[in-house]
Structure 1
Amino acid sequence: MEVASVNDRESKQPQADMALYPPAFHALLIQVAALVLSLFIFSAAKFIFNFVLPAIPLLLFHSIFASALSLIRGMDWWWVLIEFIFPPAVVASLLFGLSASFSFFAFVLMLLLFWSTFRTQVPYFPSKSNLPPIILELLPPTLPFSFVDIGSGLGGLLIDLKKLRPESRFEGVEIAPLPWVISLIRVWLLRSDIKLRMRDYVRCDFSQYDVVFAYLSPAVMPGLWEKARSEMRSGAMLMSYEFIIPDVPPDMEINTGENSPVLYVWRI
């Protein structure tokens, strides 16, 4: 088990101003700004150089501007990708005349998958498969324990942990409908006794668990700490994958692999 360096910790510090407004609000403003910049480039090329910029390069400029502004604003990688893809996706839908039913189906699918992003500012994060043995190194090797993954997604972490420690109790909480349904199916096929609930983690009683594991987002970490500190019993552990709690130094910082996020651990 490798302890993370101070530089690793500082590189993961969230930007406080990004948590003031929903990321979707920032994304919208960035698209507007990118459109203005693209129109400026188009006008400059036309009136200064007497050159009409073709549609495809203009669209590419828009995408590049949007993704670059996302990086400058410190938005996470999935928002950078969304900002780049959004302009050509809109143009493609207009050019190919996609039906209203197709657009509605795509909207419903995205809503089911990313419902938590719009409600809680917590997008879907799949954790990596190297996490279970690292987590289990921190827990008693023989005594059973209770573990909850708040934001359990497709249930992969819980399933892997249950295989390694079948005597312990594992539960998952997920607010997005589609990942929750998929995790239910996976657990049912495995005949596992993992309990999965579709609810917001703020409705969970943390006092029931020895370990609370979170892979959420910087926006919710201060509130998560307050809930953990008020509900978790003495000696229990709060684990956060990648995201630190501002102004609360962790008891442990564990490198989980090359180019992988840090696992932060607080003992209550």
Structure 2
Amino acid sequence: MLTALTVKKHERRKGIKGLADRLRRDRAVVKIKRARGVYLKHITYISYGRKPRFEKLEKIVGDSKNRIICSPKIKFESDSKFKRFENSDFSARLCTNLAICLLSMCDFTEKLKIGIYDLDGRESEFLPYVMKYSSDVTVVTDCPDVYYDENELVMENMGACSVVTKRTEELEHCHLIIAPHTIEKTFSSNENTLILTNGRPKAELTGEVYYKYYFKMPNGFDRIKPQELETEYFCSALYSLGRQYSLGSIVPTMCSNFSATQTVKSLYAMFESLYKNSAKSADEN
């Protein structure tokens, strides 16, 4: 069973009613919700004091103490037994699914240079899906052995293999760079590069960077989602904790970055334009 926590701060009234509020004890309301085979224990903590006393919830939360689904606005003490659920696997799938969708629309894939930026080597199984569209693929990773194994399978099945390296400089001439997890360090790219990643990058990058994805939540799950939670975060919990792996096939309908939002169609048009600009620059040089 998944466990979600909502905190509601009771506004203190003035006068005698305010005195009565100060004497009231915090309380928790628990509701069990179900959708598509997933059970969610939704705890609403109503606080009358200045600071929530989460230790009171220990028995109610039970074994879910270190994976509580809640808003990032809820802060647990560093030495607390409670931790907010965080996992990027589902968001990584949104990133890679959009990339594959984009590649499936291209009529110039045989000329594309594609980069996969996966330092932890967590997305090696994604490699054959990319190489279905282009044989010019460069993987930058700190775990090359994982990709060597995947490369052997690709070679057996497709007769091609990717370049696997730790050198980020190898990404400089890529038309598309796919980084399924948050980018924390800068790497080489160019102004005509489209970069799809997961979460706002923590380093400055050259090119068109998109990292936020939008999609429609499957029917039913919207009924149990706490109102204050983002759809992507809640689906991440359903995917990782609730084993709703079918969510991993979702293709985003839109994406955004620091200042712009694109539909899949407009993103493809931009990508095609970037590719043509890159080809033109290469011809001039």
- TM more than 0.5: no
- Report which structure shows greater RCO (CA 8 Å, sep ≥6): 1
TM-score (norm 1): 0.41
Higher percent of residues as strand: 2
TM-score (norm 2): 0.39
